[in-house]
Amino acid sequence: MLLFRPLRVSTLLMLICGVIVACPASRSQQPQKPDAPIATEPPVEQSVNVISANAPYRAISGKERIQWAAQQTFGLQSWLTGTFTAAIGTARDSPAEYGPHWEGFAKRYGMRFSGVASSNTIEAGLGALWGEDPRYVRDPSLPIRHRLTNVLVLSFTAHNRHGRLVPAYARYIAIPGNNFLSNTWRVNSEATTSAALTRTGYGVLSAVASNAWTEFWPDVKRRMFKK
């Protein structure tokens, strides 16, 4: 039952934020060009989670917000991270309340999943109210140093509905918000203010890692599977 409680909460959040995403504030306006141009990317790399470089900016739609939240929650990067962290926690038997072996692994994976789903839903839903675009802007034409800077900058900023970079307020709320919210269903050893703050720090690092994955994984995949 412990595993299903957070999943029910995450499902409820998805339904609530789905209504928010459908509100008029999330509708696309006339396309406008971003302040700084970015290079064009091959069509194969296009995704609802990545804004095309150097193309005229188009505000994210409500449907694309839902797709972004789903991809960030169920995508390969999230699955690999969840599997790795759950395996580490199981090997260390931390928290001890979950126990070792496969049952403990499933509980740890489910607990992380509920937090990730909540965070992505909150960010996508709240961002719809003021037009914050959670998608990442990938630019493979830049030197590595500038691409790394891009990863860091877009971890703390986002495009508004006019294509300008602004502080990512919805993300600032979503990361700590989901970690303190999850205290309501976590085991006692993890349901503390200190633990929530620690998880918030890891959440920020996870956002940076997610951007790095989006920026560089297509290059790695292309080299790995190059014929």
Per residue in 102-112, pLDDT (tens digit) is 999 999 999 99
Which pLDDT belongs to residue 51? 63
Q: Which portions of the chain are predicted below pLDDT 70?
A: 1-55, 227
Which pLDDT belongs to residue 48? 55
Give the CA dihedral 26, 154, 123, 79, nearest 10 degrees. 120
Which pLDDT belongs to residue 58? 86
Which pLDDT belongs to residue 224? 84
Domain that holds residue 112: 4-10+59-224
The model's pTM: 0.75
Q: Tell me if 162 is assigned to some domain.
A: yes
Distance CA 43, CA 47 (A): 9
Total tally of structural domains belonging to the chain: 1
Q: Tell me if 151 is assigned to some domain.
A: yes
